A and B are shown apart, each in its own frame.
Chain A
Amino acid sequence: MHVLVPVKHVIDYNVQIQIKSGQVVHDQVKHSINPFDEIALEEAIRLKEKSFISKITAISIGPEDVKPTLRHALALGADQALHIHTDETLSTLNRAEVLQAIVSKENIDLVLMGKQAIDDDANQTGQILAALLQWPQATFASEIKPGDTWEVTREVDGGLQTIAITLPAVITVDLRLNEPRFASLPNIMKAKSKPCQTIPINEFNLTEDQAIEILEVTEPPKRQAGTMVKEIDDLIKIIQEHCA
């Protein structure tokens, strides 16, 4: 069984982003793998260790800059990497179409991916991909039990929901699914000899989707820092005033 894990190269979650002339500053800013994708990859590796799957392909869509994230995925345990090269930012629909093409080309049985990319916070790609493939989907997974049907527990607003799906399928993962491992030095070295293929975007014959055009990016309104209360009795009064 062959699993595809899309990995997005994003500004690191610890970085306080900067905005200059209507855009988010990317130059000289630390980037890393989207944290949710790292969790998806970890789950794929654990499934492989338990022999539920046999092969893991990591894929990233973007400019040359995304390569370090693919190398990181190889060092963690992906067997091969695909870099879909484009300097444009594709819409989520176009990204899902690229993944759909790869799914059929590589005979993928399961796509395991993050529920959202922490830059655009879109939370769309997995669900769109599942629709395009006409596959079942299980989003926001916090537990995955493989079997004849796969039981997936999902983090939803009212609590924890469990559904069962039959493969092939798309599963998107939430934060509590697992704790990703670190890449060991020998594995980082070994990753250098693993296959990493680049495919130019024009090989996909996409109809460019321009439904969403970004006009500008601005800072959110800033909250004024308030007052520090020194005396605990004053604090209690303030709390009671506001929480009556």
Chain B
Amino acid sequence: MKTLVIAEHQHDVLSPLTANCIEAANKLSNSCDVLLIGSKLDTIQKELSTLPSIDTCLLVESPKLSHPIAETYAPIIADIAKSYDVILMSNSTQTKDILPRVAGLMKITPLTDVIEIIDNETFKRPIYAGNAIQKVRYQAQHKLISIRPTAFKPTGETNISNISFKSIQPTIPQTKTSWVNMAEATSERPELTAAKIIVSGGRGVGSKDNFKKIESIADLMGAAIGASRAAVDAGYVPNDYQVGQTGKIVAPDTYLCFGISGAIQHLAGMKDSQTIIAIDKDPDAPIFKVADYGYVGDLFEVIDLLQNSMATS
């Protein structure tokens, strides 16, 4: 099994999800190659050297590759993928954008959002917002797979790789896509998909101002912030806070949520959390069916008390 992992990075930093992808690759073969595409790769190269089981790192570097545009990246990846049996990416919006385009160029149906690797050709993936699990046999000359990162947490194993680096001169295609800008939600807080603790809020929080209270407890805890779609739609928080079927899939040690009713689409994104603590004033809210600890009552009362006791302790 010749396996290729395609690394993701932002701002010259390797995405933590790459380690999850290597974890998944290890279930298929003892070692893998990694493909790095971008414009400034030296620091990322160093970071890669701390991950296990990597053979060769292929570097495709050019100032013209500074933005991950699917139309540009896909033909480069498709060309390299032809030399591999399996190509793996960690599911992120970037992967969702690029991998199926690679698949289209190679005329191969990709297998997206894999949560379990049973053997070289048997995999599991969720369907219907995680309300059903599909077991599939996947046979293709080049298997194009995205894995759900929360299902492949790195073991922290440190058989550090002795990576060799190989530069590949890309032919950069002419495209009809151009970059305009990125409005970034800048934050000092931990990344949602990598956080150990997530505090999240829903429509019940009521306003953007009230949501600041959620933010201040999250900061006291060193937690990341999540939200339901209703909270994002109402403009309380930016879109990249959304947890759920069509937002981010998270599985922290603790998911603490305020005023989220627990629609299936929201549960799809957080029900693999280790401990769920939910506060909602409606005793029939479906969130209580998945919560390890539930409390029926006013969320603001809980937040105020929590804030006081945390400030004093």
Contact = CB atoms under 8 A, between A and B. Distances in A.
B139 interface: yes
A166 B176 contact: yes
Contact of A17 (B132, B140, B271): B132
A161 B140 CA distance: 33
B208 to A, nearest CB: 16
Contacts of B100: 92, 123-128, 131
Interface string B195-234: 0010100000000000000000000010100000100110
B239 A238 contact: no
B103 A93 contact: yes
B120 interface: no
A158 B97 contact: no
A229 B295 contact: yes
Given A140-B93, A175-B229, A240-B310, A229 B293 contact: yes
Contact of A243 (B221, B265, B301): B221
Contact of A92 (B109, B240, B245): B109
B178 interface: yes
Given A211-B108, A226-B292, A228-B295, A11 B128 contact: yes
B254 A243 contact: yes
Given A128-B103, A215-B137, A240-B310, A229 B183 contact: no
B54 interface: no
B124 to A, nearest CB: 9
Interface stretch (A1-9, A77-85, A114-122): A114-122
Contacts of B122: 215
Nearest to A167: B176
Contacts of B294: 226-229
Interface in B232-274: 232-233, 238-240, 245-246, 248, 253-254, 256, 264-265, 271
A121 B103 contact: no
Given A118-B245, A157-B94, A217 B127 contact: yes
A121 B245 contact: yes
Given A155-B239, A218-B132, A124 B246 contact: no
Contacts of B197: 242-243
A27 B54 CA distance: 49
Interface of B: 10, 69-71, 74, 92-94, 96-105, 107-113, 122, 126-140, 175-185, 193, 197, 199, 221, 223, 229, 232-233, 238-240, 245-246, 248, 253-254, 256, 264-265, 271, 275-277, 279, 288-297, 301-302, 305-306, 309-310, 313
Given A159-B239, A210-B139, A211-B139, 16 more contacts: A16-B131, A17-B128, A119-B128, A120-B127, A124-B110, A127-B70, A131-B101, A151-B180, A162-B181, A174-B246, A213-B138, A227-B294, A228-B288, A240-B309, A240-B313, A244-B221
- CB-based closest 7 A-B pairs: A131-B104, A226-B292, A127-B100, A128-B104, A162-B180, A124-B100, A136-B176
